[in-house]
Amino acid sequence: MGALMDIWQSLHWLRPQWNWALLAIPLGAALWHYRQRGNDVWRHNVDAHLLPQLLVAGGRGNRFGFVPVALAYALAVLALSGPSWRQGERAMFQSNAPLVIALDLSSSIEAADLPPSRLLQVRAKLATLLRERVGGDVALLTYAGESFTVAPLTQDGANVALFLDALSPAVMPVDGKRADLAIEAATQLLTQAGFASGDILLLSDSADAQAREAAAKAVARGYRVSALGLGTVRGAAYRSVQGEIAQARLDEPALRALAGAGGGRYARLSVDVSDLHALGVLEPAQQAAASSQEHAGKTWLDQGYWLLPPIMLLALLAFRRRGAVTAMAIACLLPLALPVPAQAAEGNWWRRADQVQQQRIDAGVQAYRNGDFAGAQRQFEGIDSDQAQYNLGNALARQGHYDEAIAAYDRALKQHPDMDDAKANRAAVEAARKRQQSSSKNPQDSPDGKQQDPSGKGGSSPPQQKSPPQPGKPADDGQRDGQPGEPQKPSTAGGKKDAQAPPPRGEDAAAQQQANQAQRERMQQAMAQQPRDGGKPPATQPPPSAVQETPEQREQRQAVEAWMRRVPDDPGSLLRAKFRLEYERRQREGQ
């Protein structure tokens, strides 16, 4: 009895509005009783004391009476109400599985068995992969004798594609074919990013036993290793970094063994996208991310399915004579009692309340990205969660409603005190509000409300203010793509972003525009005053506002600009220097 009382006290209804349907039971009982009396013709034609001798005993008892119908109906209504007496962890889902690309940049990549060369074919294939891939984080590694990270995990494949033209064996500090080091580095990237599963794609023409061993270790940690074969079986000659001529051939059995050890797939490089479809990297599968203690939530578990067995047992009584209508009614109620298509307090039968709220948050993030801050505010309002209140504060700050934004940040921090983004944004908005208040009280303000430049050179110089990060949930695994302020969707790991103050609004925006124009004019005047005559500046220089650009000065400025445009753009030098420094650091540390 005590256990039943404890369950009753802890009972929680996910959809309590369905309990109102229980009021139909008394009405149904009255209608049933009235119908039974109207259908019993013997009661109107035979005296009551003769009825027991004329009627067959138990004749009506064999019919499907009102009590089983009412009991089945009550159980169905209770199941629809979503009874729950325990909570469980809420699954946090990420959009798609991540992908780490490991490219072989040894000397053999310049073999010409794939005309015009393997390297150019690989660049085109990676560009197609990054362009056609639907969702999911992606990273790029290169390896030869060592493995190096070109681009960390990011959701923006265009950022990774920027480095494709710079990829060549010349950027690698040491030659070789250490595919095992690349697989280990890819596994480390996925682990550090907090992914419990993901894909590793190796692009090479061969793989040794060490690589197969590394692939087996990766699949043991939940990461699948696939291989894309480069080259042909016949192969072609190439020149190594030492100047020696060697032959590069595609070793398909070794790559198939690597994919088998890594639980992945193998495909040979093709001219179309059939190889990418075969590898399954264009449409990554959804995966559930491991919930962190900071952001993991509790949710009531729907236990209404426990009422289905007694409902089905009662439905067996309907399969009798004249019970077809009752059986059909119960059969229609049974699908509604399932917990998945349950009706939420807001939404419909097919979405729970938390799903509807998450849909509103996603719509608000999209509106924020499109610059519709008022629409984003309408979506975030009314959702009592730290994520929604943080986003609401950002939307209000963008509109200049600093007091309301601070209040929204406070509500978010009340639910999640360790939200660093909310703390930083609140401080930035508080500073912007103080600057706005101090500028309105500045005695140097002109009658039109614009702050005048104390130097009297024209224009205004309000304090520069930056834009806050885009809304979304707290940052995902520590800003993997290095792009602060990128809108984000629910994830599980918290991180820090560069929180910034909201932009000026109204009169401040006009003053900021004037200040920018004045700054551009001063920069042009400074460039026009470049020292001539051996680099010696003139003895006296007039104020910037009084300097006019002469034809000679304009000619000199144009010459400088033309010289700057002749500076060669070598994106590969950045990777070359980066890999060289990383390689030297590893040598010093004995890695």
Question: Has residue 192 got a pLDDT over 80?
Answer: yes
Q: What is the mean pLDDT of residues 417-441?
A: 82
The pLDDT assigned to 193 comes to: 87
Q: Which residue has the higher pLDDT, 69 or 497?
A: 69
Residues constituting the chain: 591
Token pair listed for 332: 């229609």
Residue in the block written with tokens 């294939």: 125
Q: What is the mean pLDDT of residues 549-561?
A: 78
Residue 98: strand, helix, or coil: coil
Q: What is the mean pLDDT of residues 37-61?
A: 63
**Residue from 225, 235, 275, 282 nearest 255 by CA:** 225
Other Cβ atoms closer than 10 A to 224 = 20
- Give exposure, 80-115, as e/b (b: 16+ Cβ within 10 Å): bbbbbeeeeeeebebbbbbbbbbbbbbbbbbbebbe
pTM above 0.75, yes or no: no
Q: Which residue has the higher pLDDT, 223 or 540?
A: 223
Average pLDDT, the chain: 74
DSSP state of 502: P
The pLDDT assigned to 204 comes to: 95
Q: What is the mean pLDDT of residues 439-458?
A: 44
HSE of 278 in the Cβ direction (CA atoms, 13 Å)? 15
Question: Has residue 345 got a pLDDT over 70?
Answer: no
Q: 370-377 — which CB contacts under 8 Å span 24+ positions?
A: 373/398, 373/399, 374/399, 376/471
Q: What is the pLDDT of residues 378-413, one digit of tens each?
A: 999 988 888 889 999 999 998 989 999 999 999 989
Q: What is the pLDDT of residues 308-318, one digit of tens each?
A: 888 888 777 66
The pLDDT assigned to 528 comes to: 56
**13: which strand partners?**
83
Sequence-ordered list of residues with C-beta below 8 angstroms from that of 65, at least 6 positions apart, any chain: none
Q: What is the pLDDT of residues 38-48, one digit of tens each?
A: 556 666 677 77
Give the CA-trace dihedral at 275, 276, 280, 286, to 10 degrees.
Answer: 180
335 burial type by CB count under 10 A (0-12 exposed, 13-18 middle, 19+ buried): exposed
The pLDDT assigned to 533 comes to: 41
Question: Has residue 214 got a pLDDT over 90?
Answer: yes
Q: What is the pLDDT of residues 406-416, one digit of tens each?
A: 999 999 898 88
The confidence band for 466, taking pLDDT boundaries of 50, 70 and 90, is very low
The pLDDT assigned to 521 comes to: 65
Question: Has residue 30 got a pLDDT over 90?
Answer: no
Q: Which residue has the higher pLDDT, 260 or 370?
A: 260
Q: What is the mean pLDDT of residues 240-260?
A: 91
**Are the C-beta atoms of residues 33 and 361 closer than 8 Å to each other?**
no
Residue 471: strand, helix, or coil: coil
Q: What is the mean pLDDT of residues 531-559?
A: 56
The pLDDT assigned to 514 comes to: 62
Q: What is the mean pLDDT of residues 445-449?
A: 41
The pLDDT assigned to 9 comes to: 65
Residue 198: strand, helix, or coil: strand
Token pair listed for 374: 């008022």
Q: What is the mean pLDDT of residues 158-173?
A: 90
Token pair listed for 453: 């430049």
Question: Has residue 105 got a pLDDT over 90?
Answer: yes
Residue 521: strand, helix, or coil: helix
The pLDDT assigned to 138 comes to: 93
Question: Has residue 298 got a pLDDT over 80?
Answer: no
What is the spatial distance between Cα 203 and Cα 250, in angstroms, rounded to a whole number?
11
Question: Has residue 294 got a pLDDT over 90?
Answer: no
The pLDDT assigned to 304 comes to: 82
Q: What is the pLDDT of residues 197-209, one digit of tens each?
A: 899 999 999 999 9
If you average pLDDT over each of 97-111, 321-335, 360-374, which comes out highest?
97-111
**Are the C-beta atoms of residues 388 and 472 closer than 8 Å to each other?**
no
**263: which strand partners?**
225
**Residue from 18, 68, 589 nearest 320 by CA:** 68
The pLDDT assigned to 330 comes to: 59
Question: Has residue 22 got a pLDDT over 70?
Answer: yes
What is the spatial distance between Cα 12 and Cα 533, in angstroms, rounded to a whole number?
87
What is the spatial distance between Cα 287 and Cα 222, in angstroms, rounded to a whole number?
12
What is the spatial distance between Cα 265 and Cα 280, in angstroms, rounded to a whole number?
8
The confidence band for 243, taking pLDDT boundaries of 50, 70 and 90, is confident
Question: Has residue 582 got a pLDDT over 60?
Answer: yes
**Residue from 200, 173, 177 nearest 188 by CA:** 200
CA angle 126-129-133, nearest 5°? 155
In the chain, the amino acid numbered 547 is: V
The confidence band for 356, taking pLDDT boundaries of 50, 70 and 90, is confident
Question: Has residue 221 got a pLDDT over 90?
Answer: yes
Token pair listed for 523: 């920069």
Q: What is the pLDDT of residues 68-91, one digit of tens each?
A: 888 888 888 888 888 887 777 655
What is the spatial distance between Cα 478 and Cα 10, in angstroms, rounded to a whole number?
38
The confidence band for 50, taking pLDDT boundaries of 50, 70 and 90, is confident
Q: What is the mean pLDDT of residues 447-466?
A: 37
**Are the C-beta atoms of residues 106 and 175 closer than 8 Å to each other?**
yes
In the chain, the amino acid numbered 533 is: D
Question: Has residue 254 got a pLDDT over 90?
Answer: yes
What is the spatial distance between Cα 94 and Cα 133, in angstroms, rounded to a whole number?
16
Question: Has residue 174 got a pLDDT over 70?
Answer: yes
**Residue from 297, 302, 331 nearest 314 by CA:** 331
Sequence-ordered list of residues with C-beta below 8 angstroms from that of 457, at least 6 positions apart, any chain: 518, 543, 544, 545
Q: What is the mean pLDDT of residues 282-289?
A: 60
In the chain the domains, ranked by start, together with CATH numbers, are 1-39+64-88+301-351 (no CATH), 96-285 (3.40.50.410), 353-441+467-500 (1.25.40.10)
Token pair listed for 43: 């009661």
